[in-house]
Structure formats: structure tokens, C-alpha cells
Amino acid sequence: MTSTASSLLVIYTGGTFGMVDSPYGLIPGHDIESRLRRTLATLPPARQAGLADFRLIATPTPIDSSAATPADWQRLAGLIAEHYADHAGIVVIHGTDTLAWTAASLAYQLQGLDRPVVITGAMQPLEAPGSDALTNVEAALRFAADPRLQEVAICFAGRLLRGARSRKWQAREADAFVSPNHPPLGEWVDDDAVLYPGRGLERAQRGAPRFELPDYAPLAAGAVPRIVLWPGLAAWQLEAWLLDDRVKGALLEVWGGGNVPDDPRLAGVLAQAVGEGKLLAAISQCPHGAVAIGHYAAGQALSDAGVLSGDDMTPEAAVAKLVHLLAQPLPDEERRRRFLTPLVGERAAP
């Protein structure tokens, strides 16, 4: 898709960024556009001049990101798709708790981007003393105006990270997000947005974005659980999760390079779930590095059961991908093939 649009679209969804003080603590604030423009006007004139014009849309009800579901991911992707062609880039202001989950989901739904979609937020409200909100949104606006960026990215604390490679890693600190297995796409250096060559997605061909916007509603209420193994996990516990008819797939977070307990009963539950057509995948509990299912004897049960390797994916990217694939009318083998295939740079190439 080619567009001559030069303005940006800012979508405000809620989160700490727009909150204000009250006698009961922080609460969602109103008039976010006037507040944002007033705060941007405090920047030095040269930095104000470097910002592209933007239009702002606020979702009807601010979302507390800790309560977000796949249905919210779907609505946001639909909103972006609706307005995408009219703007040179898009900035999404989002709560930080599940920001990385939303970023991963948007990456799968908005495949084939030919312009930036940059997600940001803040650990402190916009008007709070020493807030990180102004710095984050200024950098996000600058990166979103760079046509060389053609993917979903997170801009936070001076770094631009791939959306499908990122995690929230700090509960309080401003430097809240990391990308464990992929280097930053860019950084904010000397009041300038710098993209690093060779780190962004390279589109195989030009043309219209190949957006995939399936209906997530049937999966929004817990159909794809995330199960972190712990010492003493029993087969009946895994059975309670995986063999429930409401479960359509699951992410297993296993030990080290892809290990599970040597328990035939656990292996039997995994095999039964896969045999029922459920899409199971595994990643390591270690934030850095990848699983290699079957490399150790202790992980052979995963391979034998048909559990898919998530390689070096984050939990956020793996769960969002399972939801995305299960929401589409695909044959089981095609779902499995696509899970193992890098779609948006979310995992290492085979």
C-alpha cells in the first residue's frame, strides 16, 4: 500500500500514562488530547518542530491493561486497520502491564506492514513530576514518522524493541521493557530517533498489507492457558488444564533447554491432548536462549507427544501466536507449520 499521508495517528487506550491523582489514588483522566498537546508544547522549540502532525483517537473506555483480553487485541487491530491507510504511522498509548502481549498480537494481526506501528506508555502519569511519559511519547512520535520502520515496535525508556520479542521486566523502574533474544531496533540518541540498519523486518514484497483479523472472541475466555512447570507437578493437575474441552491449545514453560519430569503419566496427558487436536507448544522458563525439544532425554516426552518447539520466543509472543492461529479456519498441520515458521520475526529462523 502506498500513501502520501504525512500525519500520524495516536490511539489512546488507557493506562498509567493518562491517569490523574485523586483522593483514592490514581484514576483514569479525561481530555487526553489537550493534556498531551499541552505537555508536548513544553519541549524546546527545535524538538517541537521535529514532531509530525498527529490526530488522536481515544477508545471509549480506558482499558486497565491488567484486565485486557484477546478481544481487546482484536478491537485495537481493527481500529488500526480502519485508519491505517490515512496516516504515515501510528502510535498506540497503552498500559504497561500487558503492553508486550498487545504488541505481539498486533504484529500477527497486522502482517505485511509498510509503515510504523509504535506502542508506548509510561510508568508515571503524564503530568507527574519526573514522569517518563513525555520522553516516551516524544520518541514514539519520532520513530512512527520514519518510513523505514515497517513493523510493530515498542518504544520505551529510549529503546525501540520488536513488539513480538519484548517483555515487561521491571515493575517500578522506568526502564521497564527488555528484548531478551533480539537486539533493539533503534534508540533515542541525543534527542534523535536512530534506527539500526539490518535489524528490522524486511518485507518479501511490496503491495497491500496482508492483515489477518480473525475473530478472537471464542478464545478470549481462557482457551489457551500458559502453564509453567514446577517441581512436583502431577499428571492430574496437567490433565485438569489440558483435557478440559474448553481448552484449544496451551503454552508449556519447561526447564532449561526443553526438559520435563520423567513421568509416563505426564507424557500420556500431553499425547492425549495433542491427539485431541489441541495445539501445544513449549518454551524455556529461562528468559535467554531457546529450547531444543528432544536434545536431552528428559525432553523426549515432549517430542514424542507432538508438542511444538517455541524456540527462543517470549511467553507473550508464543501465547498470542497460538491464539492467532487457533482463531483461523486452518487444518491442524497448517497451524503446526505456521507456528514453527517465523511470521513477524518472533522466533529464530529454522
Q: Which residues are catalytic?
A: 16
Secondary structure of 247-301 in HEC code, one letter for each residue: CCEEEEEEECCCECCCCHHHHHHHHHHHHCCCEEEEEECCCCCCCCCCCCHHHHH
Rounded Cα–Cα distance for residues 118 and 239 (Å): 40
77 by DSSP, 3-state: which? helix
Tell me how far apart the 2 most distant CA atoms of the chain are, in Å. 68
* Length in residues, the chain: 350
Type of residue numbered 111: Q
Rounded Cα–Cα distance for residues 143 and 262 (Å): 49
DSSP calls for 152-191: EEEEETTEEEEGGG-EE--SSSS--EE-TTS--SEEEETT
Handedness of CA 175, 176, 178, 184 (dihedral sign): negative
Beta bridge partners of 90: 9, 117
Rounded Cα–Cα distance for residues 127 and 122 (Å): 11
CB atoms within 10 A of CB 59: 14
Burial of 17 (0-12, 13-18, 19+ CB in 10 A): buried
116 by DSSP, 3-state: which? coil
Rounded Cα–Cα distance for residues 57 and 161 (Å): 24
Is there a contact between 320 and 292 (Cβ–Cβ < 8 Å)?
no
